[in-house]
Structure 1
Amino acid sequence: MILSVANKYEIQIGTISQANFDWLSSKNYAGWVLFADENTAELCLPRIEEFLPEDTPVIVVPEGELNKNLETCQDMWEDLFAAGVGRRWCAICLGGGVLEDMAGFVSSTYKRGIDFLQIPTTLLSMVDSSVGGKLGIDFNQVKNSIGVFNDPIAVWIDPVFLETLPLREIRSGYGEIIKHGLIADRDQWDKIKTITDLSTVDWETIIPSSVNIKREIVLEDPFEKGLRKALNFGHTIGHAIESYWLETDLRLFHGEAVAAGMIMESWLSTQLEALSSDELREITDYCLSMYGHQSIPEDSLPELLALMQQDKKNEDHRVNFTLLSAAGKARINATAEEELIVEAIRYYNGLAHA
């Protein structure tokens, strides 16, 4: 399957083959360089290595959100210089969302920008970060606070890479699939809420539907001025708790934090929008069944609120949310007072004893 993004680039969903790299060769770049992280270099690179020229430089970076920072970017820029990469080269980004965000950002700023191609290897990156051209790194404990908008020349999504992932990584990516249904497609939500075992899912049918939801939103609002903010459902609180626990033993993966965020922001939706109590219970029960529960300490609330205040979507010092008026229908640019946000967190904490 091939999906076009505003005639700028194409998203291919299917097996990566020699034909893909023949297309890349036809663009007559001066050279290719490949970015991978420690895991994808071992588990994913062998699946495409036969298609690469033997002299292709491979730059391997540390994996994980903790390394999505300026220090790692500096190492990557230095490696590009050391490899002799010029402005007429193309970077191939082979990895999950962290690697793609960072490698795309590094490529977009190296010598004022070189082309890059994304090959997402996690479910999260396939359905979310590889679509839409948002690139960046974490700074001052705020996720994705330094970055750019820039499109790749292509995105090649091959579900075979999901075979390299532990179930927790699959579950993390699935959080974004849940979100896509809740903000834009009630029928999709009705289908996925019946899924109970992620090890038996036919991803080749689920991935295209989820990618297309994000693609259509990005086409309408490429620079997040309006509708694209719908994609932030679950992320305002979710990003805050993800950042809060990032450097601890209680660290949550992105999709796990977003799932908790969707529960809390669904509760806010019942207070500020028209989301019904029945739909809140349905969303709450499903997210708990798939992700479990991790209570948020009361003494963390001031820090969490401060992190939410730093969210780049905010305007006029008000915390900005995307909420639901119903399952499948989002409303952007909603705001909530701190007292109500605290109540949402306490609603979530109360579920541990429900």
Structure 2
Amino acid sequence: MNSIPSSGYAVYFNENGYDALNELLEERHYSSIFVIVDTNTNEYCLSSFLTLLATESRIEIIEIESGEGFKSIESCLEIWSILTELGADRKSLVINLGGGVITDLGGFVASTFKRGIDFINVPTTLLGMVDASVGGKNGVDLGNLKNQVGTINNPEMVLIDSRFLETLPQHEMRSGLAEMLKHGLIADKSYWEKFLDLSQVDFADFDQLVYRSVEIKNHIVTQDMTENGIRKALNFGHTLGHAIESLFLETGRPILHGEAVAAGMILESFLSLKKGLLSASEYAGIKSTIKHVFDDLEFSENDVAEILELLIHDKKNEYGSVLFALLDGIGRVIVNQTVDNELIIAAFDDYKN
């Protein structure tokens, strides 16, 4: 597959990606290379990745625990200290080998260490491949509040090796699928329709679906790197989705990002329906398709009240207003939409039915 050019870097795929990576390492002559992994990628991905590197630079491995709970300033402090102790300098390189937690956190660590050193993202989860590793957003959570501290800073390249997907359990694959569904809903109706009957999806050609998702996200972010306009379209399902994810983390019942976003997409599709942007048949199709893939989440009245409180902290808010990206039919989106709390509560009531 051809590479996808982005803003000052490119996304490479499979064998071509390793050729590009080794060419970059030869050109840059990095003083040292630090590969950030979590416990899962250390066990399942690191050894095969290292065998494909061709470099004379010193390589060090930095491992953190896996999970959203470790996407924190505390983890950054630990990694910054390790980089310092191991002699990292301005000519060092960070390679983030992992899912969205690793690419988000590792990109933030590299962007801020010594005012910024080069980094490369090598996503190993479906979610990381189609979402987190592309677009230059790096950051960490503040307690249970998602992505409150971070930067927008691009990697030197992204390498997507679909063989890493073979290491994933099914629930992790579903988590990434949520973002792929979102890409179809906001930008490509024909792409969305490929997922209407998952039994007909040709998973032998899954690389092409991943490629199309990366194309869609990249096309949006290259128009609006700093999220002042069209990039807000990517927030569809995430305004409520992030609040749901924070709630479940806070109450000791953590769920995957894609599971929260799946619920968020149903809820925000309902909001689109009630604001006259989406037809009843379109909404029914969205709800049915997503619920066929993802189990229902359970929300008590107190949960919904807490979610409304959490919305106040959403980083996408402006001038005290919670802003939504809503569907304007399937394949189109409209941003900066305000919604009152009564309609949000109605969306949760509908979700339960």
> Does 2:132 align with 1:125?
no
> Does 2:229 align with 1:226?
yes
Contact 1:273 1:324 in 2 (8 A): no
Q: Name stretches of at least 5 consecutive residues in structure 2 with no aligned partner.
A: none
- 1:57 match: secondary structure: strand
Q: In 1, distance between residues paired with 2:42 and 2:189?
A: 38
What code does the residue aligned with 2:333 have? Answer: A
Structure 1 residues 158 and 95, CA gap change in structure 2 (3 angstroms): same
> Does 2:79 align with 1:76?
yes
What code does the residue aligned with 1:124 have? Answer: L
Instruction: Indicate the residue corresponding to 2:29 in structure 1.
Output: 28
Identity of aligned residues (%): 42
> Does 2:186 align with 1:203?
no
> Does 2:288 align with 1:285?
yes
Q: Which moved more, 1:253-262 or 1:54-63?
A: 54-63
Q: Name stretches of at least 5 consecutive residues in structure 1 with no aligned partner.
A: none
Contact 2:72 2:143 in 1 (8 A): no
Deviation (angstroms), 1:247: 4.7
Deviation (angstroms), 1:275: 0.1
4+ residue runs over 6 A deviation: none
- TM-score of the aligned structures, taking structure 1 as reference length: 0.95
Instruction: Indicate the residue corresponding to 2:12 in structure 1.
Output: 12
Q: In 2, distance between residues paired with 1:66 and 1:273?
A: 38
Q: Which moved more, 1:199-208 or 1:290-299?
A: 199-208
Q: In 2, distance between residues paired with 1:337 and 1:154?
A: 41
Aligned length, in residue pairs: 349
Q: In 2, distance between residues paired with 1:143 and 1:108?
A: 19
Deviation (angstroms), 1:32: 1.2
Deviation (angstroms), 1:175: 0.2
Matches within 5 A, 1:302-341: 302-341=305-344
- 2:138 match: secondary structure: strand
Among 111, 116, 135, the residue aligned to 2:138: 135
- 1:71 match: secondary structure: helix
Structure 1 residues 40 and 112, CA gap change in structure 2 (3 angstroms): same
Deviation (angstroms), 1:194: 2.2
> Does 2:299 align with 1:296?
yes
Instruction: Indicate the residue corresponding to 1:37 in structure 2.
Output: 38
- TM-score of the aligned structures, taking structure 2 as reference length: 0.95
- 2:134 match: secondary structure: coil
> Does 2:179 align with 1:165?
no
Structure 1 residues 128 and 152, CA gap change in structure 2 (3 angstroms): same
Contact 2:123 2:159 in 1 (8 A): yes
Instruction: Indicate the residue corresponding to 1:63 in structure 2.
Output: 66
Q: In 1, distance between residues paired with 2:328 and 2:50?
A: 48
Contact 1:94 1:119 in 2 (8 A): yes
- 1:17 match: secondary structure: helix
Q: How big is each residue's C-alpha offset from its partner over 1:198-254, in whole Å with a ceiling of 9 and x where there is no partner?
A: 894532110110000000001111110010000000011111111111155632210
Deviation (angstroms), 1:23: 2.6
What code does the residue aligned with 2:11 have? Answer: I
- 2:96 match: secondary structure: strand
Q: In 1, distance between residues paired with 2:155 and 2:275?
A: 38
